[in-house]
Structure formats: structure tokens, C-alpha cells
Structure 1
Amino acid sequence: MQYFRPRLFLGMTATPDKRTDNDANDNIYEIFHHQIAYEIRLQQAMEEDLLCPFHYFGITDLSVVQDTKAKNILEEEFNKLICDERVKHIIEQSEYYGYSGDRVKGLIFCSRKQECKELSKKFNDLGYRTVALSGEDSEEVRQNAFERLAMEEGEQTDKTKPLDYIFSVDILNEGVDIVEVNQVIMLRPTQSPIVFIQQLGRGLRKANGKEYVVILDFIGNYNNNFMIPVALSGDRSYNADTIRKYVISGNRTIPGASTIHFDEVAKNKIFHSIDRIRGIKSIIRESYISLKNRLGRTPRLYDFYSNNEVDPLVIIREYKTYYGFLESMEKANYCCTLTEQEKLILEYLSKTILSGVRPEELEILQLLLHQNAISIETFQKIYQEKYRKNIMEDQVNCALGVLQGKFVSNEKEYQKYETIDMISCDQTSRITRVSKYGELLRNVEFRSQVEDIIKVGLARYHDKFMNTNEVVSPFVLYEKYSRRDVSLLMNCGKDLSSVMFGMKRIQEDVFIFVTYHKEKAEDERNYVDGKPDYADVFEDNMIFKWDSKIGMGMESTYMKDVITAPRKHLFVKKSDAESNFYYMGTFDIIDVKEARKEDNKGKLKPISKVVAKMHHPVRDDLLCYMQSNIE
């Protein structure tokens, strides 16, 4: 490539981002001057019918009783991998889920070489025809195994017989094209979405007599189980809520005839892994390197969003500002410097408006990048033309308060952010860019980062939150919101998170916040008037039963706020591991009665038991997710 000087270089690769952790200068994008003629990933390939449909089954791996004869932990773990009970479990599942075609032609991916050999031997002892391949085997040995796997029964000779399975570690991930493969079994933890797709892809080639491929993934208690839905969905945002949504909805996001199914135990293992995603900073850094290689320049936050890389909110949660991340990532190579005031403004904007739950603040900032002042009336007209809806002056004033550093939860936060000095509004209802802020915008890097926040926020709003009937509610059904978001959307003027617990009345609206599975086991079942009773649960997809706080009978101000509110909203999250709540919609109270319940000191106190009827049936997959048990 250094020698030839053609008019066009055309390169084709399946793994352009494979070696982002390597220090060597192996940036494929750079070789081709960062020009990408065409790119296709799994989802699009399925949509265009270029691949064979697949039926993926996430199956719980067998939990084996501790081996007391093992000399050490490594030997004990290995003995579990090759024990007769696990072999029986694998065979039972492989026969149950089957394959497409006259006979099985399968690949089995293992964790280690010795596991390959031992499992292959045990399968052979049970009548299967298998071999184990590793990097130690010659190309001739491998090719012979591939040909035997592809053979039909009638093609066998005395010396060469067909294979049912090839056991492998490492070597079959890429560069192998056995189109006849109709079953893929994964017996190793998923450490990388790239490797997962490579292994799944061994079965996605089309072949005569093969209608689909069966993928069996044996899922154990691995920290990286969250990589499985990341790989299947193709969504590299690493936003825990997005990953959960994919596991919940599954087949809704797979094109064509392919299906995805997790058994309940396997699904809970994945949810458990999602709740405790580890190594997120390492994931962010790998994503950054990949994106930088692709673009040929330092990425902006919006580049992460538009290229479906790590969610900007995930980056900000770890580093507070993108500037802080770039300092950490580039170190001495990042020459741009910001003042403490500039850093403070970026931190506040990242914290309050980057999520894009509403556009008001973002649009005001956008306008004031290019002009010193604008009247509220002019802003209202611009807003109405762009969003086809009116915005009242009190809503504009609330947005201005946010941009003046007032959207905080406590005095300490207020003292920190009150000096951001970005905008002011005089008695003539004219929104003005503060001169000091205007001077800061002359710093190219600072201005660029402000523009970046605005761009990401508006994109998120248009993609996630714009389709809502704001006459009824500013919230989008089944999207996730924090208590902070509720404070913002209800124009509270400040963050009420610290006082917004199980119930909060805001003017004409009441908000109920429920954690479906409480942390303490004794909270899962309530005893009311000495009788067991389940509370805070969906009876079905329309009826929800909710208990008030202990001590709040029907005559309490607390309950009167709930009962008399014209609009009642329900927000639910499955467990405390989730930071945000699903918006389940509005509801009516169809029954309420008073009972008694013991408080923490064992004293009986009044409690109100409410039966609510949702205005919209709760989506079935989300309901199943809420109701499934947590291990």
C-alpha cells in the first residue's frame, strides 16, 4: 500500500474497530483517509435479507454443586465445566431447541482448550461425532473438520465420516465460512460484543435446506452478561436503561423472522449484570478511541450520540463535563484550557439540560449564541413556529430561572451555581446575554462545548421526548425520568428531588413514585390488620394497588392531595438499582379504604389502600419485567 499509487483504494473488513486496545498504529480508517464508502451492521443486514434468520435462546447454565475433591479453585471451576451433569444439560437443550435441516451441523464455543477436548470426548462417548479444534491444530486438520461438518450423511466413506459438532476456542471467531452451520452453542461468558457477533455470525450464512440457525447461549453468573443485549441490539450506548429496554422488548427490535428469547432465570442474571455494570470508564475510553480513529479528529459529545457510541449522559455521569473527560483521555495532548468559570458553566449545563427532556432552555441558549438579546415575545413566536405549540410567559420565565443557575436542590448547590452569569431578563421582558458570558464565548473551545451540549440536548429531545400530548401530560409513556426531570417539566423553578419521595403534589398534578421490588425482604409482603397483603403491585395491566405512607389515613392532608388532584401520574422502577422511573401514565382512583399497619416501632398506624385504574393498559413486556422476581 505504501508502494502503489492507485486512483482508488477500496478496502473491505469485518472488524475495523477490533484492535482499539492495541498501542500499535493500526487505525484502518486512517489508511483510507477516513472515507467510509459503505457500512452495514447486523440489524441492517437482517432487514435487507442478506443473512439467514436466527432464533436466539438465552438459557440458564447449570449450577453445579461444589467439588470437595478439587485441589484448588481453578481445578474446581474446570471440573464444573466438564461434569456429566453439565454435559447432559447441554445435550438436552440442544436436542430440545433443535436445528433446521436433515441433521445437526453445529459449532460449540468454549472458554479454554482443555474444556474443548474434554467436552468433545464426553459427547463422543455418548454417540455424537465431534472434534475439538484450537490454535494448536494445523490448517489441514481444521479444513478437514470443516469439510466433515458440511458433509451430508450419504457422502461419508470408510475413512471420512460427517461431524455433528466442532468444539472450539478462539479460532472460529472469524475467517471461517461454513454456510451449512445450523446450530451455534455458546458455553463461554460474553466478554465483547464484537466477539459475540463474530461467533453468532458463523451460523448466519444462507444455505440450501437451511431456513434458520438456532443460537443457544448458556448464561451463568458473569459480570459481563450485559454485553449480550448490547451485541444483539447493536446499540453501543451502554446506557443501562436502553440495555434493559432491549431485554424487555426483545423481538420488537429484531427485523424479519428472527427471534430472541431469554428464560426467566437467564433474563434476571442479565438484569443483575446491567444493574452493576463494571468497567464503564474502560468502555468509554475504548469507544472514544474507536470513534477518533473513524473520524480522524477529536470527537465531540454529539459524535458519540450520532454514531451510536456511548451515551453522552453516561460520559457526563462519570466525568461531570466532556472537557474533564478529554483532559483525562488526552492528557498532555489536549492543549485547550478553560477557566474555572467556564468549567462551572459546562458542569451546570451538562447536569441540567443535556438530557433534553424539554427544549426551552436549549433553544434560548442557541439563540443567544448568535445575538446579544431577544424579547420573550419573539422567542415565543420562534418556539411556536418550530414546535407547533404555544409556550406561556411563565414557562419561559421558568426556563430563564434554570439558565440563571436556580435549578438546584439545596443551598449548597445554589451557592455553587448562582455565579454562572449567563443571561438576564429585564422589566421589558427582554432576554439578554450577560456581557461576561459573551466574552467567555470568544474562547473557541468553550463555545464549541456549549454548542455541543445544545446539539446533543436538542437531538435527544427530538428522538425521545418530542412525541407527547402535552395537553394531557408533558411526559412520554414508558420513557424513563428522574425526579429531577419531573421538577423541570412541571416548572417547579428548582430541583425538588430531595422532597419528592413516594408522593408529591405539584399544583393540579399528583405524582406517585414506586419501587416495585423493595430492598428489604420484609417489605415485599405487607401485613395489614394482621393479615398478609401485597401492596404497590399491578394486579393486571390496568389495575394498580398502592399503599400510602404509614400514618396517612384517608383524612390526612397527604391523602386529600392524592384524591383531589385532577391529574394523577404513576412512575415505577423495578428496583433501587435503577436510578430513574418508567412513566406508566395517568390513572383514576376507583377505590380507597383505610386500614392499619405497624410502623418500624411495632405501633399500629393508619394507612390508605388505593386501587387505581390506568388510562392506558401497561405494555405486556414492561409489566412482565416489573413482575419478574429478582434473585
Structure 2
Amino acid sequence: MNSNLRQDLLNTVKNNFIDKDDYVGVGNLSAGLVLNQSTDTNVYRVLKMELATCESFTFAVAFINHQGLATLLTVLRDLHKRGIKGRILTSTYLYFNKPEVFRALLEIPNAEVRLFNEKNAKNEVLPFHAKGYLFEHKKYMSAIIGSSNLTSSAILNNYEWNFRVNSLTNAELTQELSLQIKDEWQKAIPLTWQWCERYRYEYENKHNDENILDHPQVPYYVEDRRPIEPNLMQKSALGEIADLRNKGIDKALIISATGTGKTYLGAFDVKNYQPKRFLFVVHREQILEDALESFYKVIGGNRHDYGIYSGNHQIDLNTKYVFATSQTLSKDERLTQFSKDEFDYVMFDEAHHLGANQYLKIFNYFKPKFCLGMTATPERTDDFNIFKLFDYHIAYEIRLQDALENEMLVPFQYYGVEDYVHDNQVISDASSLKELVADERVDYIIQQTKYYGYSGDTLHGLIFCSSNAEAEELAEGLENRGIKAKALSGEDSIKTRDQVVKELEKGKINYIVTVDIFNEGIDIPCINQIVLLRSTQSSIIFVQQLGRGLRKFPGKDYLTVIDFIGAYDNNYLIPIALTGDKAHNKDNVKDELEIEPIYGVSVINFTHVAKERIFESINHSNLTVKRKLREEYINEKRKIGHIPQMTDLQSSSIDCQVIADKYKNYYKFLLEMGEELDNLSDYQQKILSFLTVVLSNGKRKHELLLLRNLIEKDKINDELYEKILKQNNCYYDQETVNSVNYILSLDFFKGKALPNEQSYGGQALVIYKNGEYRLNSILRENLKNNLFFELFKDAIETGLLRSKKYLSNKSFTIGERYSRLDACRLLNWKHVVSGQNIGGYRFDDELKNCPIFVTYDKRKSNSINYPDRFISPSVINIYSKTNRKLDSSEVAKFKDSEMSLYLFVKKSNDDGVSFIYLGQCKPEERSFTQEYQKITHKSLEKKLVPVVSFNLQLSTPVDLNRYYMLTKLDY
């Protein structure tokens, strides 16, 4: 904190409690409510931010559940590495806290835990219902007091009220809190392993394993007397399938994430359809047995109507519901026993296997009235098109993120932790077997798995390794340390695999260690911990392996996923896999990694070191290499059955910004993807490049809306244009209208700066005259070319689709990324200015505005290392350009009350040309200070040059995640 802390806090108190208009508060010092209004501003985010930046912490909370504690384990681990400790005061009130919670608390090395023990006159322990969090920072303290216990629901999505206050360490409030905590802490009982054992016995006797406040939901597949009913998403899917059939469509595909109940969905649909005979085909016999049971539970009837047809089972050929393996049914002598129209309903589970000869042979043989394919992973890397098989009819799609949000799966706690380091050597793809199974690494793995824990009384774990040899030796290493484990590989028989799975389910072993044989086609709902000890080679495989533990199971509140992140080239795939992002945009991937998305109560966490390893991988990766883009493009083409438009890609896969940066326009992209298209002229291609590079990013809708309407109308007058803008909730002023004219006439690009007007055809796209807009006659004539017209229109619609990311009633959207060129345009400058000429900032004296660009971490910068630093989420200290003094005219412009200042910040030069917009700001009058910066001239002579430092007060405090992302090097 700076020396003005006392004054900042005084102004903040006046702002919070007296008059918000007369006094300016400092964001991180402000008092205010902490609510679970969104995943960006919930209690969990605030707690995590406070922890990440504190000097010590104290939690006084009555109720803690394992999942709530689990959300904070990585930040607590990072604090431990920095030597920062804390205290946790909790209780046994109402026997809410399960024994496993106390065991987990004891695993946290930098937190001392005690149990409330305040007693009344009868020597009875008083009810403890406190919910407070106290954080010591440098020279001040923060406290969060309210309704949120440390449970996953309370800190993530329940309707909660909490009050956050800040004070200096000598303030009465701080002293009162500290004394109260000190008093209770001295009376409290230390938590020990011996106490945990006694509590477990007492809890089991008195509590009967019932959670008083958070009643666990019974999975719908657990047998009871109630009829099994479809959930909301299944009902929606059933409606879509029925609608397709009503339209005469005879085949369809269901895309349903692992664990979302697609087998039950199929059974519900068969029950609705009431076929005379039904065939279910899959590639593994174990799946058949489970599927048959599921169908019988839903449909009921005579048990003899259900039969398995496989190498180990024969059936009456007249059985109504036939469940067959592809290996058995595909044999000619077996297949021809059935007529081609034998079954009026055929269902293929794991339908992505239809590319295999056995599956395809069965698919082509039968001619049912209706055929349904079900898969979690329709995307393939070979040339087979599963979508084409089903005539591009996707009845319903339930992706992982949607399933988590809708509570169809058990939530997960994902921990990205750094892999073992020995003698400065990090585990990598090049590591030898000896390094992978070294005693030190095995001990480290066990330490991490114990720390991050699991939900439930018994550990049911699945470990994925990089090789069968590693799996064998790791299993042996675990056994030698008293942890029961067995290795399985593709060489083991189905019988052996099934036997080992049963041992895991019964708790006879704790871990199955394998490579990839459990990626799909097997259900082990009891799995409550997944350990990933290999590089991520494919986002599809990553999700498949994650999905092994996402099925609901009694007593399992969540799945623990521990991903050991070494120095792997493919680490960049981790955030892509976790978020389902297919945009191939590095900025998106980095932002998602920093924000650590939340899906319902599923939380993604990385340790600091693990996150830095992923960032390094992102920086060195090429997400836009032609092979990767073509794979994504082909998947989209297969899905829709024709050449995708850019809008199709923007909706669900490749970001148009990637196409703009790499190919300039979609026509060139399609040619690179191997499409054969009619030739377009140089002029037409340059126009498409203008639309794609300048407008399709959607950062301002004004030009796009005008062009869209001019395609349909010969002319548009001022009044109609204003009406169009207002109908689309766009801001409207004369400077912006003038800017639109500069852009569409290409006057904005005239000059030496690149891109210039010749880059975009050299001719105005729109002519504005006598209060009317018209398309240039040259452009109008070119639009008679059908291909050019379609691509022109597609670029406009892509921009309007992408514009949904941005506020249409403001020039900039806080938290979004902009380049210097974007800023020139959106600030309504008459001409583009090269980035070099803008530098850290540039004033437009006529329009009275100035964008300020700050690269926060300058360790990789070739420029002068200005020590720009955030003082708080509302205040940043920045520096002028060199050779500026307090009386410089440029410094006076910063102080000009009519000058609008816009702050853009990026973490480092690894972020490329884009900066995150943090909002408008004003300088603090008294903060301007003359300083001198040491620079090195070409002669290598070091010289001190004058610079001016000053504070900027942001109108909107920086989002907590952004603030920590930018400033964590400061702590």
C-alpha cells in the first residue's frame, strides 16, 4: 500500500457511508455486499482473491463441507510455498461437518485448526454459528461477515448476503474483531488425528450419515419403488426426436456427454415409440448387460422379451428387445439370420465407432423405420463422417459444460498441479521410465492425492499414465507404500478387467492404474478421484477420461481430478479441453485459463507454477497451424453437410479473428482448406479483407448495420440510419457518425500507416452525400457476382454475431480485448495511427480523448522498463514518456478535466497486440511526481532522463480475477 493509505481509506469510508457523489472511494478498500450474483462475482472469487493477496488469514465458520474447502486448496497450497499461514475456527454444531472434512483440514500444512469451545454456566458448549473471514494485508485488514459458511453452495451459488469491510490495523472495528477471535481461539480445542477418530465414532452414532442442511440428491438410476422419469434435458431431447419423426425423418444422432444418461434417454424414446422389435448395438458386452437392465427398468414388461446376443450369449431369434455386440452380429452367418426389416427401431450406442467395418456393415444391412445413434464424441480425426450417416440430423446435443450446469453429472474439482521436479528437471514427454516411477515422484504423487482428497468414505481412484510399463511400476510402488492398486492394460482380458473393476467398486483396491483402455465404454460410477500423469494429447481423450468419474453415485458429492502438469508441449490443450473452446484464439485460451471457469459448483483451479507452464505452452504453440484449422473446419463441414459459412464457424468453432489475422478473408481461408471456388478479383478480395479485418470483429456494429441495410436498399438517409442504430441499442452521436464515414470511405486509412486505403481496394465502399448513404457503384456492380455477394454478406453477419460479446451502447466493453488500431477507430479518430506512433498513449486534441496502453510485466519487453503498478483495483500508478517534466504541455493534458482517458492493459508482450480494456480513468491531482528513469543509449551509455509518474483512478474497479492475473507478480 502507498503512503496515502490513510487518506484513501478515509475517502472510501465517506464514499461508502456518507455521499458517493462527493467522495471517490478506492475499490479494494470499499465496504460492500458480497453476493453470488454470477460466476464472476461470487463469494468464492472474493475469498480466493483475498487469500491470494493476504499476509495471513483467519476463518471462523460453523459449517464446512469437503467440496467448499476443496475450492480453496490450490490457493492455500501456493500460500504455503510463500510461507503464509492462517487459522481456521470451526465447530461440531448440529454435527453438520462430516469426519472427512476434519481429516481434510488436518492435511493443510499452513492452517492451524481449532474447534469452538465457548461454554455456558452448565458447562455446555454453546451453539457456534459464526460465518466470518478475516485477512491481514500490508497495513490494513479485510473482513467478510455474513451468511456464507464454507460450503460449495454457500460460496458459489446460494442466495447469500455478506458484508465486506476494510480498516487500518489500529481501527476500533479491527481491534474488536481481533480481540473476539483471540478470545475464542484461546478457549478452542486444537484439531488432532486422535480427536478426528473420536468424532467419527460419535458422528456415526448420532448423525446416521444424514446431512442436516445439504440433503444429497438420490441419483435417478438408484433402484427404488418410484418409476424412473426423464430429467428436464432428456424430456427436451425426447421432444426433438419425436418432432424429427413427425417430419418423416428416419434417422438421427444424439450427442450426449459421458454420464448424462444417454442409455436411459434411448430407453425412454423406445418406450414412447413402442416398436414391434428393437435392436441395440454396441461394441462391448459389459455395456450390453448394463443397457439391458436400464431398458428393462424404464420399459418393464416380460423379462423374457429382453436378450443379449453375443459370443457368450445366445437368444431366441424372436426376442423383442435384442442387445447385440457388433463383433457377434456383424458375422455373415449371424447377420443374415435376420431380415433387413426385422427391426423397426435400431439404436447404435457409441455411434462414433460406426466408422469401423463391423459397425458399418450392420448399419448398412438393416432398414428400420427409425435409427438412432448416440455418442459423446462425434468428432473424428480420420475421414469418416458420422453426421453424413445420419443425414446431418442432430436431434439433440448435450455437451459437458451444459450437463454440469444442469446438474446431470456429479460436479468436479479440477486441480492443475505442477509435476515433480528433481535437480531442476521437470517431468516431460522425454522423461525416462526411471524418472517417471522414481521413489521421490511416487511419494510426491501420494502427497498430492492425500492433500486434494476425495468425496466419500472410501477412495475409488483411476490413474492414467503414459505407458503400460509406467502403470505396472507405479501400481507396484503404491502397493509398497500400503496403497492397494492394480495395473490394467490392453493386453489384459475382458474377464481380468471386469474382475479388477469389481475389486475397485468393493473397496478391495484403491486405484486402477492404466493408460487409455478406460477412455470410453465402461461405467464405474463409484470413481471419486482421477489422477492424470501424462501429457494431454487430445482434448477429446481428456474429456473422455474426465468423464469416467462424473457419474452420480450415492455418497459421492463431487469428483476430484488431479492433473500433474509437467513441461509438456501440449499443455495448451488443457484449458481448451476443460472449456470446450474451439475458437483457436490464443487470447480466448489465456483468458479462460486466468479466469478459471466455474460450471455450477464445478470449479477449475491451477497452482501458480502449473498455470505458468500452461501459459508457456500457449505462447509456444501455434493454434492456427493449417492442419489444426483444417481439422476443425472439416468437423464443422461434416456436421452441417455443406461448405460452412464464416458465421457457422463463429457460432461454434473457429473465431473470425483467427481467420482475419492469418488469412485476411474467408475466401482465402476456404481455398487453403482445399475448397474449389470461382475466382474473385483482386478488388473483391481486398473488400472482403476490409470487412473481415476491420469490421467482422464486431467491436462496433454501426458500419455493419449500415452495410447490411445498403445491400437491400438503394439508399439510406440520416434519419433512417439513426433509427436503425437506436433499434439495435447502439450509441449515437455526431462524432461516431463521422467516424463511420471515415471508415467506409477509407479516408481513415489514408497515409503512411498500414493498413492503408490501397490494402482495401482504394475505393470508398459507401458514398455519403446530401444526407444520404449509397454503396459505391463499383462495389454495387461487383455484388452481382453471387460468390462475392454471399461472402460479403457472410462477413457482415459474422461481425454482427460476434458483436454480442460487446456492449452496443458504449464505445468499449470493460474486460474485452482491443488493439491500438481498434482504439483509433472506436475513439472516432480521423486517421489510423501506427502502434509505434501511439506507444504508451496518444492524445487527440480535437476530440479530447487519449487511450493509455500499459504492458504490466515488462521483463520480456525491449522498451524502457517503466515500473507501472496497480496500487489497488481502482488505482494504477503509471509513467509519462521520457523527457517529460511536471511543467510539460503533455503532462498538462493529463490534468485537463475535459480530456477523456481510456486505460488498456495487458499482462506481457506474450499477449500480442491486444490489451484488456479496464475503463475510463482520471488522474489524482496530488499524485504527479517528477522522477528520473535510467535508460541505455545506442552507445551503451546509461543516462537518467526525466519522467513523470502519477496515479490514475479508474471509474470501475478492476474485476478481481483480472486484477490478480495482472498483479500476482507483485505479491
CA 58–75 in structure 1, closer or farther in 2 if over 3 Å, else same: closer
Q: Counterpart of 1:197? A: 543
Counterpart contact for 2:894–2:923, Cα < 8 Å: no
Aligned amino acid, residue 549 of structure 1: K
Counterpart contact for 1:406–1:417, Cα < 8 Å: no
TM-superposed CA distance for 1:395, in Å, is 2.8
Q: Does 1:56 align with 2:383?
A: no
Counterpart contact for 2:741–2:768, Cα < 8 Å: no
CA 287–430 in structure 1, closer or farther in 2 if over 3 Å, else same: same
TM-superposed CA distance for 1:524, in Å, is 9.5
Counterpart contact for 1:100–1:211, Cα < 8 Å: yes
CA 521–236 in structure 1, closer or farther in 2 if over 3 Å, else same: closer
Aligned amino acid, residue 2 of structure 1: N
Q: Counterpart of 1:509? A: 849
Paired with 1:206 and 1:224, the residues of 2 have a C-alpha distance of 30
Counterpart contact for 2:460–2:527, Cα < 8 Å: yes
Q: Does 1:296 align with 2:296?
A: no
TM-superposed CA distance for 1:316, in Å, is 2.4
Counterpart contact for 1:193–1:228, Cα < 8 Å: yes
Q: Does 1:42 align with 2:386?
A: no
Q: Counterpart of 2:934? A: 598
Paired with 1:454 and 1:426, the residues of 2 have a C-alpha distance of 20
SS in 2 for 1:383: helix
Paired with 2:748 and 2:885, the residues of 1 have a C-alpha distance of 33
Report matched runs for 1:404-553 at 5 Å: 404-408=745-749, 410=752, 413-414=755-756, 416-417=758-759, 419-425=761-767, 427-461=769-803, 463-466=804-807, 468=809, 470=810, 474-498=811-835, 499-506=837-844, 507-520=847-860, 535-553=867-885
Report matched runs for 1:117-196 at 5 Å: 117-152=472-507, 162-196=508-542
Q: Counterpart of 1:530? A: none
1:572 to 875, 880, 905: 905
Counterpart contact for 2:874–2:953, Cα < 8 Å: yes
Aligned amino acid, residue 514 of structure 2: S
TM-superposed CA distance for 1:98, in Å, is 0.9
SS in 2 for 1:491: coil
Q: Does 1:224 align with 2:586?
A: no
RMSD (CA atoms) = 2.2
Aligned amino acid, residue 395 of structure 2: A
Aligned amino acid, residue 839 of structure 2: F
Deviates more, 1:102-111 or 1:315-324: 315-324
TM-superposed CA distance for 1:412, in Å, is 6.3
CA 212–545 in structure 1, closer or farther in 2 if over 3 Å, else same: same
Report matched runs for 1:241-252 at 5 Å: 241-250=587-596
SS in 2 for 1:229: helix
Q: Does 1:110 align with 2:452?
A: no
Paired with 1:415 and 1:404, the residues of 2 have a C-alpha distance of 9
Q: Counterpart of 1:562? A: 894
Aligned amino acid, residue 598 of structure 2: I
Paired with 1:356 and 1:66, the residues of 2 have a C-alpha distance of 46
TM-superposed CA distance for 1:415, in Å, is 5.4
CA 520–232 in structure 1, closer or farther in 2 if over 3 Å, else same: closer
Q: Does 1:2 align with 2:347?
A: no
Render the CA deviation track for 1:407-433: whole Å, top value 9, x for unaligned: 337266435236443534354132222
2:603 to 254, 259, 274: 259
The number of aligned residues is 593
TM-superposed CA distance for 1:603, in Å, is 2.3
Aligned amino acid, residue 396 of structure 1: V
Unmatched tracts of structure 1, length 5 or more: 68-72, 153-161, 527-534
Counterpart contact for 2:687–2:760, Cα < 8 Å: no
Paired with 1:96 and 1:385, the residues of 2 have a C-alpha distance of 55
Q: Counterpart of 1:314? A: 658
Render the CA deviation track for 1:418-451: whole Å, top value 9, x for unaligned: 6443534354132222222112111111111111
1:78 to 419, 422, 433: 433
CA 337–269 in structure 1, closer or farther in 2 if over 3 Å, else same: same
- Rg larger for: 2
Q: Counterpart of 1:155? A: none
Counterpart contact for 2:530–2:560, Cα < 8 Å: yes
Q: TM-score, normalised by structure 1?
A: 0.90
Q: Does 1:32 align with 2:418?
A: no
Render the CA deviation track for 1:435-474: whole Å, top value 9, x for unaligned: 221121111111111111101111111x111255x3xxx2
Render the CA deviation track for 1:354-392: whole Å, top value 9, x for unaligned: 111101111121112112322233222322233264342
Counterpart contact for 2:659–2:669, Cα < 8 Å: yes
Paired with 2:518 and 2:584, the residues of 1 have a C-alpha distance of 27
Report matched runs for 1:372-387 at 5 Å: 372-387=714-729
Paired with 2:693 and 2:865, the residues of 1 have a C-alpha distance of 37
Paired with 1:410 and 1:522, the residues of 2 have a C-alpha distance of 24
Aligned amino acid, residue 527 of structure 2: V
Paired with 1:29 and 1:77, the residues of 2 have a C-alpha distance of 41
Counterpart contact for 1:406–1:418, Cα < 8 Å: no
SS in 2 for 1:214: strand
Counterpart contact for 1:56–1:214, Cα < 8 Å: yes
Paired with 1:504 and 1:274, the residues of 2 have a C-alpha distance of 31
Paired with 1:231 and 1:27, the residues of 2 have a C-alpha distance of 22
Q: Does 1:357 align with 2:694?
A: no
Paired with 1:621 and 1:419, the residues of 2 have a C-alpha distance of 43
Q: TM-score, normalised by structure 2?
A: 0.59
SS in 1 for 2:375: coil
Paired with 2:510 and 2:391, the residues of 1 have a C-alpha distance of 45
SS in 2 for 1:134: coil
CA 231–36 in structure 1, closer or farther in 2 if over 3 Å, else same: same
Q: Counterpart of 2:122? A: none
Report matched runs for 1:330-345 at 5 Å: 330=674, 333-345=675-687
Paired with 2:830 and 2:789, the residues of 1 have a C-alpha distance of 26
Aligned amino acid, residue 486 of structure 2: V
Aligned amino acid, residue 286 of structure 1: E
Q: Does 1:619 align with 2:962?
A: no
Counterpart contact for 2:883–2:947, Cα < 8 Å: yes
Paired with 1:537 and 1:350, the residues of 2 have a C-alpha distance of 36
Render the CA deviation track for 1:68-103: whole Å, top value 9, x for unaligned: xxxxx9985332211111111100000111111222
TM-superposed CA distance for 1:175, in Å, is 0.7
TM-superposed CA distance for 1:233, in Å, is 1.4
Paired with 1:627 and 1:325, the residues of 2 have a C-alpha distance of 38
Aligned amino acid, residue 468 of structure 2: K
TM-superposed CA distance for 1:349, in Å, is 1.7
Paired with 2:431 and 2:702, the residues of 1 have a C-alpha distance of 60
Paired with 1:114 and 1:375, the residues of 2 have a C-alpha distance of 74
Counterpart contact for 1:182–1:203, Cα < 8 Å: yes
Counterpart contact for 1:236–1:309, Cα < 8 Å: yes
SS in 2 for 1:224: helix
Deviates more, 1:342-351 or 1:372-381: 372-381
CA 628–223 in structure 1, closer or farther in 2 if over 3 Å, else same: farther
Counterpart contact for 2:861–2:909, Cα < 8 Å: no
